[in-house]
Structure 1
Amino acid sequence: YSFASFILTRYNNSGKTFFIGNWEGDWLLIPNYDRTVTPSPESIANMTKWFQIRQRAIDDAKRASNAQNVNLYHYIEANLVLKGMNGEPCVARSVLPNVDVDFVSYSSYEAIKDKTYAQKKTELEGIFNYLEAQLRPKAGLPFARRVFIGEYGYQANASVPQSFQKQYDETKEIMRISFELNLPFALHWQMYNNEYENGVSKQMSLINESGAKTRQYTLHNSFYKAMNTYLKDEMKKNNRYPTTDQYRTKAIQVLGTL
């Protein structure tokens, strides 16, 4: 409550939007990153209470605040949603329906590895539809959908040069799918490399361990430059920004040129 109140007060009339959330919640329920483990009822109950308290604190702080032109939302991130779709206990199936949360983030690796473009799109579409079905209705939220990709990315191997092209192409695929599914966000892992075990890099970052900008950086930079130019041109021409659907259509077109 105090943190949410501080944000609303400190950034009053700033035009900023803040999201408070966790990282890969299913790993909090099970030990040692072992996805075969079934979380205990006690762990699920405690996580549910913790998220309920956090959401209530944020909602209470927003109601008590007189701040304007600043937004604050709470999300829960899940990473083993397929377990829930198979009827197994997990964040998506066991926690989400019992929390009045604003948004749901999905760390998407289980759905995007070793698949074709069509398979990834089908998998992600099913997962996001499932996640939305777990949510309680809630008024006063932006965006058409309350679900987003909180983490995606692909590895490459410095000793296998062709792996970087595959990484580049698959990254573009997730960007395209995110627009096709009308997701408000898709967050790439990662900006700077923090995985360098035994001197071996997974090559997932936009800026690598040597401080060099990668092709992934160039991809995102080129995309944002093109889209910002589009926004400025539309405002100049029509005295308004494009609709969400117009923006999505243009984004997919731009991705096809990169």
Structure 2
Amino acid sequence: MFDKNHPHLFGRLITFIFAFWLIIGIALFSLNDTPAEINQAKAQTINNVGAYFWAGNVKDLGGGFIKTGETLLEGLGSSIIRISMSPRFRIDYNLGGGCISNFSLETLAKGPDLNPILTNPSFSTIIITAYDGTSFSDCETKNYLYPDLYTPEITAAIEQEYKALAQYLGTIKGKTFIILNWEGDNDIYCGTAYGATANSCPNYQKHIEGFTKWINARTKGIKSAGVGNVYSGVEFNIVRYLKNAGLPSILYDVIPNVAADYFSYSSYESINELYSGDNGTKLLSDITTAKSAISAGGGNNSNFIIGEYGFETLGREDSKNKLETVTNLLHSRGVRYAIVWNLLDSGGGFGLYDSNAVLTPSGKYVCSLYQGSACFIIQSPSSTPTPAITQTPKPTTTTVPTNNPCAPTSGFASSCIEDGTKIITVAPPNISNSNLNLTISIDIPANKNSVIWPTGYYWSATLKNWAPFTLQGNNYPGSSWLVNSASTTLSVPYSNLQPGINYIVTWDYIWDGSKWLGPPCSTLTNSLCWRLETFIRP
């Protein structure tokens, strides 16, 4: 990968310059320097942006690393994603177990780890960075770069692996799949194409030949599957440097010799210019150059993808500003898909979510493009219930009222929502040894977009405090909140409860289409309170 960390010494200065322009309301650049395409794009709906989910670190929201990533992708709201499939899959996605032996792309696609993402109806365009078990079997040696590998038998095996993958993906209706490599120029030049010389990677000419054979074998296999929703692609990551240095490249020396459907540019050579004050003109120029070269090589340059872009700077807010600038430019140039690196922090602070599964400024920006559900995450209530939760509830009766189950208690919210639906239920408790077993359920109607805080409390009259308990349910994307329903069974020491009526409290929010509405206090106007429900200690 081209160095995603900015290589320039002026980054700190530029950060302050950008901040200055933001303060005085002239966006990121002076009006004289801003390309007209930015303003044109801002007036349009941006719908070509997706996220790359490949490695990273994040807390488990339930179901493991891949399920957490899937949940976070859904939260962004985009139907475009990019993922990786290779013998390194278990390594890259924190599953343990090392390199997968006897690997095949089809088997991985059908397996329980990845199949839920591939079949998830939230994602309509899935770009796959794919490496086959035939030419990358040990997860280390890039055999696909060596032309001597391609005997008729090996070539046929590679073709068959991509054919089988495409045939399976073709059964998943309503989706587009694009099969890419990753940053081909870096592969050719021993890991780093930018700054490469003829001596820094002596086998580069053989690598070009081997790589071309590999792309052709992949492409032939995909096309021979005969399905209409799976396409081949090739990714490059250098537009200018190699040509200027008199060296071969993917753009000028591979693309004219392959029959790929899509052409992807991992764009750090261009976008890193923003760190030293460029306003996006390099990027626009490089896109024009790349599309011209693709067309000259016989490719369809309308199928041009930005396979990676993203920023790690001195601050998350500055990264977001740069990301927004580039996104507007990419939209103005008709880029088919633009993939942000990365969903999670990986090798730096690029993530759209941080390690706590909370949106970063860049993540909030991408989410805002689609009004994704993660945009509407609300703040957690106080870790101890308020208001006046430290006071003992004082009911006027010793039995649970049955004539009005929605009747509120002063200082708390009702256990019913506005339309009269009772949402908190405590099943009749039973005694086991010296404990009282309680089953507590919260069920908000499914037609309402709602969240429930995972911590509730019961009042211990003998201890004279509110004791916490944990509710279980499905996590709301990117947060600890639970969606629509939650429940728990807890065992409370019998002696902690008072004879007769006792109390639990919970908290929820319901989305009304523009804002989150919390539980209204019964006696305090324009205030929110914890919902109170009662139960009887036998």
> Shared topology, TM-score over 0.5?
yes
Please give the secondary structure, in 2, of the residue aligned with 1:209.
coil
Deviation sequence 1:65-104 (CA, Å, 0-9, x none): 5xxxx50011111011213543431111111111111111
Q: Give the 4+ runs in structure 1 shifted more than 6 A.
A: none
State TM-score, norm by structure 2. 0.36
Amino acid in the other structure paired with 1:128:
A
Q: Report how far residue 119 of structure 1 moved.
A: 1.9
Please give the secondary structure, in 2, of the residue aligned with 1:114.
helix
1:219 aligns to what?
365
Is the contact made by 1:85 and 1:130 (CA closer than 8 Å) also made in structure 2?
A: no
Distance across 2 between alignment mates of 1:131 and 1:212: 41
Superposition map of 1:6-155 within 5 A: 6-9=165-168, 11-12=170-171, 14-33=173-192, 35=194, 36-38=196-198, 40-62=204-226, 71-86=229-244, 87-115=246-274, 116-137=278-299, 145-155=302-312
1:203 aligns to what?
349
Please give the secondary structure, in 1, of the residue aligned with 2:353.
coil
Residues paired across the two proteins, number? 204
Q: Report how far residue 215 of structure 1 moved.
A: 1.0
**CA RMSD after TM alignment:** 2.3
Distance across 2 between alignment mates of 1:175 and 1:114: 15
Distance across 2 between alignment mates of 1:6 and 1:94: 27
Please give the secondary structure, in 1, of the residue aligned with 2:273.
coil
Amino acid in the other structure paired with 1:41:
Q
Distance across 1 between alignment mates of 2:170 and 2:182: 24
Please give the secondary structure, in 1, of the residue aligned with 2:230.
strand
Gaps of 5+ in 1: 139-143, 158-162, 196-201, 227-258
Please give the secondary structure, in 2, of the residue aligned with 1:148.
strand
Q: 1:131 to 1:173 in 2, by over 3 A?
A: farther
Q: 1:89 to 1:221 in 2, by over 3 A?
A: same
Is the contact made by 1:208 and 1:214 (CA closer than 8 Å) also made in structure 2?
A: yes
Distance across 1 between alignment mates of 2:210 and 2:264: 20
Q: Report how far residue 22 of structure 1 moved.
A: 0.5
Q: Report how far residue 145 of structure 1 moved.
A: 0.7
Indicate the structure (1 or 2) with the bigger Cα radius of gyration: 2
Please give the secondary structure, in 2, of the residue aligned with 1:113.
helix
Q: 1:98 to 1:173 in 2, by over 3 A?
A: same
Higher strand share: 2
State TM-score, norm by structure 1. 0.71
Please give the secondary structure, in 2, of the residue aligned with 1:192.
coil
Distance across 1 between alignment mates of 2:180 and 2:335: 17
Distance across 2 between alignment mates of 1:34 and 1:184: 25
Is the contact made by 1:8 and 1:71 (CA closer than 8 Å) also made in structure 2?
A: no
Amino acid in the other structure paired with 1:104:
F
Higher helix share: 1
